[in-house]
Structure 1
Amino acid sequence: MTLDALTLDTPYLDLDPLFYDPTDPTPLKNPYLISFNPDAAELIGLSSDAGTDDRLVGLLNGTFTPEGAKPFAMCYAGHQFGMFVPRLGDGRAINLGKSGTWNLQLKGSGETLYSRMGDGRAVLRSSVREYLMSEAMHHLGIPTTRALALIGSETKVVRERLERGAVVLRMSPTWVRIGTFEYFYYKEEHDKLEPLADYVIAESYPHLKGEEDAYFLMFAEVVERTARLLAQWQSVGFNHGVMNTDNMSMGGLTIDYGPYAMLDDYDISFICNHTDTHGRYGFGQQPHVAYWNLSMLAEALSPIVSKERMEKKLDDYGSVYTQTYVEIMCAKMGLATVKEDDIILLKKMLTALQNSQADYTLFFRTLSRYDGDGKPLLDICVDREPVREWLAEYDARLLHEERSAEERHAAMLQTNPKYVLKNYMLQEAIKKAEKFDNSGVEDLLTIARNPFDELPQFERYAKATPNEHKNLKLSCSS
């Protein structure tokens, strides 16, 4: 399908006008294409030829409007760093409409009713980061938004310094957030909660439509999806950085990529957001914060669902998270089945990683070829002794595996990525893009789409993060 055949619909606009504000994008000056993602295009039926169509830049810049599109910004509230803010909304994102199951949204497309004191723009660096990381997370098997394309411009945007504006066209099965329900709950517009819940069910949980207990069942599925999502985040070493309730999806997927980071060395206390002075959203805190956010959702849904029942369901969050996390981590260790003592082995491994200062991704990729010779693993540790001691227990556990070493290695190499997009890699691509060189973005897009493959031309990205680039922190500013 070509761009001129793209048609959208806007079921969200069937809700009360309080839910949104009609808003047209404000075009950037002299826009140009930085990157096009054919995988995302395929999701909405667009051919790869769309990447060379001049209308693609117009689509992102708001000068080409597909048939059926009715641009609008969504209204929501949220708890930001634990403090409730009664009205937030899409301050720099404008929704175009829906193609099939995918909602298309322009991020950085200009002021909206909800911009508050902001300019409604996104800068190049943050747009590159979201564009690439959403694709990387998908290919790691983690539920996430996607991104169709990215444009830059000559529009000047003021942040900590003068930067160029950009727009990323991002796609999601849903853009409804926990904060959307909070908006109407705290505003005491409780009659709006049922229509919103009906919309979420139709969009994200259609199998619940018509069920007698649909609203509670919706909540239960959000709890379970979120628990599994957080287990995946922790297993791959992803730190979101800003887990406000307005950044948590009712579809249980990763949204709103801001000051995120993939772990360099394993550090349970790592904080990727330098705005987060108290560590609320540090790596090790994420599962707990997600639970707290779900408790805020339970409060917001309490006018239409029994709070006692939701609180009881929340008790399942920990067990779903733990079971999922342990299963994933045992697979990363090459264990075909989870035995009772494997949790102890896992805890000891994480302690050893913390104390050895080993690169998290490289450790597991190296472990994926472990044949009894510990030297390759010990060579990537600053302090070798903790891993040496753990390997003795790991060797004993492997004696109880029924798979051959070759079978174990093959499974682990498809479980433990060779490549993840670390912040220093993204910074390299951003610096090139700021000089109108898009090759770094394209290189990382290739890596993002092939995280488990051997890519000889990108071998340097599979090594431990250079010491001078470890533990980069970023701000919420974009």
Structure 2
Amino acid sequence: MKLTDITLITPYLSLDPIFYHEVTPTPLKHPRLVSFNPSGALLLGLDPLHIDTSEIEGLLNGTLLLRGSRPYAMCYAGHQFGYYVPRLGDGRAINLGATKGWNLQLKGSGQTRYSRQGDGRAVLRSSIREYLLSEAMHALGIPTSRSLALITSDEKVAREQWEHGAVVLRLSPSWIRFGTFEYFFHSNRYDKLENLADFLLQESFPELVGVENSYLKMFGEIVKRTAHLIAHWQSVGFNHGVMNTDNMSAIGLTIDYGPFAFLDTFESGYICNHTDTQGRYSYDNQPRIGYWNLERLAHALSPLINEEKLKNELDHYGEYFTEHLMELLRAKLGLESAHENDSELLRSLFSVMENGRIDMTPFFRTLSRYDGNKEALCALTLAPSQLNEWLERYDERLLRNSSSTDARHAKMLRTNPNYVLKNYILQEAIDAAEKNDFSLVNDLLTLAQSPYDEHPAFERYAGSTPNQYKNLKLSCSS
């Protein structure tokens, strides 16, 4: 199927106009394609081999409107760094419609009713980061929005300096956020709150439509998905950076990639967002903030659901999080089954990693080939004696496995990525792209989508992060 054969639907526009603002994208000057994602195309039923570049550029730039499309921005509120903001909304994103269960959204496509004092634009560096990271997270098995394509332009956008304007086309099964519910709760529009809950049920939880206590069961599923999502973040050392309630997906996806980072050296209190002066969204605080955000969602749903029942569902969060994190970490260590002392073994490992300034990703990848020879692992730490002691405990724990060492290695190599897109790697692609060289963006797309494979041409990205680039902080415009 070709791009122009697609017919979009816009069921969100069946809701009251208070939910959205119909708005036309504002084209950029002289757009040009940076990258097209064949995997994203397949999600929409497109043939990646028969894509017209000019049509993709037109779609992202807002000059090509697909059949059935009625562009609109969504209204929502949210708690930003703990403080409630009564109205936010899509200030620089415009939804085009949906097909095959995917909502198409342009990010950076111009001003909307919700732009406030913003210009409605995105810049090339932030767009590259989101475009690549959504695909990288998917390949790591982490629920996330996806991406179809990215354009840049000759249009200049003011951030810390003048930069190239860009648009990324994002895909998601839903763009409803915790903050969408908060908007209608805090404005006392409880009938609209119920309309929103019904819409989300139909869109993302159809198995619960018509079921007794459907709203409560939907909330319970959101609690579980959020707990599992953040457990998965923690397991790969991912720091989101801006876990405001308006950035929290109501269906448990990673969305809105602003300041983010994969840990370089393991630093439990790492803060990737330099705006976050109090460390609210530090790596180690993410599980607590996930719970706090769910409390805000529960409060917003209280006109529809008994508060005690909401609390009972919320009380499962810690259990969901811990069980899933332990499952993920056992897999990273190649442990076949649970044992009562595993939590202490894992706690001590992360202490050893932090004390030894160990880079998390190459450590687990090297551990995936561990056969009793400690030399390669001890070369990764500044505290080899501590790691050596831990490895002795690990050797004892491996005796409980029934499979062979080779079988353990094979499973671990499919669990522990060889590559994650750290910020210094992304910056190399950004620097080249700003000089109109998009080759590394496209190379990194391949790397992002096959993180467990060996890529000899990019082996330098599999090692520890160079010292000068470790655990840097980023701005919100990054």
Q: Is the 8 A contact 1:363 1:377 kept in 2?
A: yes
Give the aligned partner of residue 202 of structure 1.
Answer: 202
Q: Partners in 2 of 1:339 and 1:47 — Cα distance?
A: 48
Give the aligned partner of residue 240 of structure 1.
Answer: 240
Secondary structure of residue in 2 paired with 1:147 = strand
Q: Is the 8 A contact 1:105 1:171 kept in 2?
A: yes
Q: Is the 8 A contact 2:79 2:245 kept in 1?
A: yes
Q: Give the superposition deviation at 1:53.
A: 3.3
- How many residues are treated as equivalent by the alignment? 478
1:5-24 equivalences in 2 (<5 Å): 5-24=5-24
Deviations 1:10-29 (A, max 9, x none): 00000010000001000000
Q: Partners in 2 of 1:47 and 1:472 — Cα distance?
A: 40
Secondary structure of residue in 2 paired with 1:321 = helix
Deviations 1:248-277 (A, max 9, x none): 000111000000000101111000000000
Deviations 1:430-472 (A, max 9, x none): 0000000001101110110110001111101000000011112
Q: Give the superposition deviation at 1:200.
A: 0.6
Secondary structure of residue in 1 paired with 2:275 = coil
Q: Which amino acid in the other structure matches residue 28 of structure 2?
A: L
Q: Partners in 1 of 2:222 and 2:266 — Cα distance?
A: 29
Q: Which amino acid in the other structure matches residue 407 of structure 1?
A: A
Give the aligned partner of residue 58 of structure 1.
Answer: 58
Instruction: Tell which deviates more after alignment, 382-391 or 75-84.
Output: 382-391
Give the aligned partner of residue 131 of structure 1.
Answer: 131
Q: Partners in 1 of 2:27 and 2:359 — Cα distance?
A: 43
Pair 1:410-2:410 in alignment: yes
Q: Partners in 1 of 2:277 and 2:364 — Cα distance?
A: 30
Deviations 1:214-243 (A, max 9, x none): 100110000000000010000011100000
Q: Which amino acid in the other structure matches residue 21 of structure 1?
A: H
Q: Partners in 2 of 1:50 and 1:177 — Cα distance?
A: 35
Q: Partners in 2 of 1:149 and 1:191 — Cα distance?
A: 38
Pair 1:470-2:457 in alignment: no
1:223-302 equivalences in 2 (<5 Å): 223-302=223-302
Q: Give the superposition deviation at 1:113.
A: 0.2
Q: Which amino acid in the other structure matches residue 226 of structure 2?
A: T
Q: Which amino acid in the other structure matches residue 58 of structure 2?
A: G
Deviations 1:169-199 (A, max 9, x none): 0000100000000000001111111110011
Give the aligned partner of residue 390 of structure 2.
Answer: 390
Q: Which amino acid in the other structure matches residue 87 of structure 1?
A: R
Q: Which amino acid in the other structure matches residue 141 of structure 2?
A: G
Pair 1:360-2:391 in alignment: no
Q: Partners in 2 of 1:53 and 1:423 — Cα distance?
A: 29
Q: Partners in 2 of 1:132 and 1:18 — Cα distance?
A: 33
Give the aligned partner of residue 88 of structure 1.
Answer: 88
Gaps of 5+ in 2: none
Q: Which amino acid in the other structure matches residue 194 of structure 1?
A: E
Deviations 1:319-342 (A, max 9, x none): 010000001001100101111111
Q: Give the superposition deviation at 1:135.
A: 0.2
Q: Which amino acid in the other structure matches residue 55 of structure 1?
A: E
Q: Partners in 2 of 1:198 and 1:352 — Cα distance?
A: 48
Give the aligned partner of residue 68 of structure 2.
Answer: 68
Q: Give the superposition deviation at 1:398.
A: 1.0
Q: Is the 8 A contact 1:356 1:385 kept in 2?
A: no
Q: Partners in 1 of 2:340 and 2:151 — Cα distance?
A: 51
Q: Partners in 1 of 2:455 and 2:440 — Cα distance?
A: 15
Q: Partners in 1 of 2:414 and 2:28 — Cα distance?
A: 42
Secondary structure of residue in 2 paired with 1:164 = strand
Q: Is the 8 A contact 1:96 1:105 kept in 2?
A: yes
Q: Which amino acid in the other structure matches residue 397 of structure 1?
A: R
Percent identity (aligned): 60
Q: Is the 8 A contact 1:50 1:56 kept in 2?
A: no
Q: Which amino acid in the other structure matches residue 251 of structure 1?
A: I
Q: Which amino acid in the other structure matches residue 31 of structure 1?
A: P
Gaps of 5+ in 1: none
Give the aligned partner of residue 442 of structure 1.
Answer: 442
Q: Partners in 2 of 1:51 and 1:375 — Cα distance?
A: 50
Pair 1:104-2:123 in alignment: no
Q: Is the 8 A contact 2:3 2:46 kept in 1?
A: yes
Q: Is the 8 A contact 1:93 1:107 kept in 2?
A: yes
Give the aligned partner of residue 173 of structure 1.
Answer: 173
Deviations 1:17-54 (A, max 9, x none): 00000010000000000000000110010111354431
Q: Partners in 1 of 2:37 and 2:73 — Cα distance?
A: 24
Give the aligned partner of residue 25 of structure 2.
Answer: 25
Q: Partners in 2 of 1:10 and 1:232 — Cα distance?
A: 32
Instruction: Give the ranges of 4+ consecutive aligned residues of structure 1 lying more than 6 Å apart after TM superposition.
Output: none
Q: Partners in 2 of 1:401 and 1:25 — Cα distance?
A: 57
Q: Is the 8 A contact 1:95 1:106 kept in 2?
A: yes
Q: Is the 8 A contact 1:4 1:66 kept in 2?
A: yes
Give the aligned partner of residue 187 of structure 1.
Answer: 187
Deviations 1:371-415 (A, max 9, x none): 001000000112212211100100111112111100000000000
Pair 1:378-2:381 in alignment: no
Secondary structure of residue in 2 paired with 1:191 = helix
Secondary structure of residue in 1 paired with 2:371 = coil
Q: Partners in 2 of 1:233 and 1:328 — Cα distance?
A: 10
Q: Partners in 2 of 1:400 and 1:110 — Cα distance?
A: 58
Deviations 1:132-187 (A, max 9, x none): 00000000000000000000000110001000100000000100000000000001
Q: Is the 8 A contact 2:33 2:53 kept in 1?
A: no
Deviations 1:263-311 (A, max 9, x none): 1011110000000000000000000000000000000000001111111
Q: Is the 8 A contact 1:229 1:252 kept in 2?
A: yes
Q: Partners in 2 of 1:290 and 1:37 — Cα distance?
A: 31
Q: Which amino acid in the other structure matches residue 326 of structure 1?
A: M
Give the aligned partner of residue 36 of structure 2.
Answer: 36
Instruction: Using structure 2 for the length normalisation, give the TM-score.
Output: 0.99
Instruction: Using structure 1 for the length normalisation, give the TM-score.
Output: 0.99
Give the aligned partner of residue 326 of structure 1.
Answer: 326
Secondary structure of residue in 2 paired with 1:153 = strand
